[in-house]
């Protein structure tokens, strides 16, 4: 990417809701090392949702709804 003129990256991993070895080591550490060694100027990774209060509250709400019998909304992705 740096050879193509892309010198700054802001990374987000939308498939992960919490940081794990793949996001922390492979994407954040090794990805940054590879990019910077290739001539990149800036590589920043946006952290996953982890324990963000809004995420925890939404997850708790979905669990409560499922527990109360509202399986349809959760299982059919109707949010």
pLDDT digit string (tens) for 26-37?
899 999 999 999
Q: Which residue in 50, 49, 43 sits closest to 11, CA to CA?
A: 43
Confidence of residue 72 (pLDDT cuts 50, 70, 90): low
Query: To the nearest whole percent, how much of the chain has pLDDT over 90?
Result: 46
Cα–chain center distance at 28: 11
User: What pTM was estimated for this model as a whole?
Assistant: 0.67
């Amino acid at each position: 990417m740096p050879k193509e003129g892309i010198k700054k990256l802001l990374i987000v991993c939308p498939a992960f809701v919490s940081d794990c070895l793949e996001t922390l080591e492979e994407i954040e550490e090794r990805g940054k090392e590879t990019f910077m060694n290739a001539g990149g100027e800036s590589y920043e990774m946006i952290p996953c949702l982890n324990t963000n209060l809004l995420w925890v509250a939404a997850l708790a709400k979905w669990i409560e709804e499922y527990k109360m019998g509202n399986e349809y909304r959760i299982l059919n992705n109707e949010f």
